[in-house]
Amino acid sequence: MSAENKSAKTPPPLTLHYLGKPIRLTLHHIPPLLAIADLAAAIGPHLTEQLRQQLETHAHQPDDQTPPSWPLPALLQVLRRSRKPAARQLRRWLSRELLPALHQLPPQAPRWEQALSLAAEAGQQISHAVLQTVLQQEENWQHAHWLLTLNYTPDHPRRHSHGRLSPLECSATPLQALADEIARPKGLGMPNGDLMKLVAACHQQLALRMDKQAWREMARGRDGD
């Protein structure tokens, strides 16, 4: 078998994201493998060194396309014995997010791979959009809603989704400025029915607060007597 045919039949690692860092996961090997270098970039040098010492005999690279990796079961076993907060955090992520997803993975599941790839790409782009919005906020915070379009190509070299993030015009005002905005000549760009719902909700909240205030005043009066 030629190297070209072998590489065509060997699926590339999937890319997950932990603490904003990409983690390559190899699924065609049993048990699943997690790239050591990717984990090291996410968890830091101290925990990485501890894991290297305890997983020295488990680290391997089954083929040229798979990076040096640790088997998932052996990694979890070592993490359970560690008292480091970073180890507990990584173990929770593996146990509560990664393992349940793997348990639902049927044999030969391109749809699962597609969903995982699309979700990772969406999470990256939306997190980036939110971060940029927060960094650019002013006193009257303006933000945008985002439209995310994603495509997935199974024969892509890295089997990675690719998308485009487009901002939609939208703005938000602090609560203290809401009354001023409603009272402007143009008002809020919403139907009368929505405005009536807003008025009703405000009246309801005001009535509840006035009722609580009245009870507090009555309680103070009884205490004074």
Q: How confident is the model at residue 28 (pLDDT cuts 50, 70, 90)?
A: confident
SS3 per residue for 132-170:
HHHHCCCCCCCCCEEEEEEECCCCCCCCCCEEEEEEECC
Looking at the fold, whether 11 and 82 belong to one and the same domain comes out as: yes
Helix axes 72-81, 45-54, angle to 10 degrees: 110
Are 160 and 124 in a shared domain? yes
Peptide bond into 85 cis (omega under 30): no
79 and 113, same domain (yes or no):
no
Domain C-terminal end among 80, 105, 130: 105
One-letter amino acid of 179: A
Same domain, 11 and 94: yes
Number of domains in the chain: 3
- CA dist 40 and 50 (Å) reads 11
User: Do 62 and 3 belong together in one domain?
Assistant: yes
Q: Are residues 160 and 209 in the same domain?
A: no
- Out of 59-73, 120-134, 152-166, 177-191, pick the least confident: 152-166
Q: What is the predicted pLDDT for the residue at 4?
A: 41
Residues 165 and 182 in one domain: no
Tokens standing for residue 155: 């024969």
- pLDDT of 45 reads 92
100 and 151 share a domain?
A: no
Residues 83 and 18 in one domain: yes
Structure tokens at 108: 């030969």
Structure confidence by residue, pLDDT tens digits, 109-160: 555 566 666 676 677 667 666 666 666 665 555 555 666 666 655 555 555 5
Q: What is the pTM of this model?
A: 0.45
Same structural domain, 154 and 62: no
CA distance 70 to 163: 31
pLDDT score at 35: 93
The domain of 70 spans 1-105
Mean local confidence (pLDDT), 39-59: 92
One domain, residues 189 and 136: no
- Residue 9 and residue 66 in one domain: yes
**Mean predicted lDDT score pLDDT of the chain:** 76
Cα→Cα distances 65→9, 29, 102, 119, Å: 11, 12, 21, 23
Residue 109 CA to its chain's centroid (Å): 23
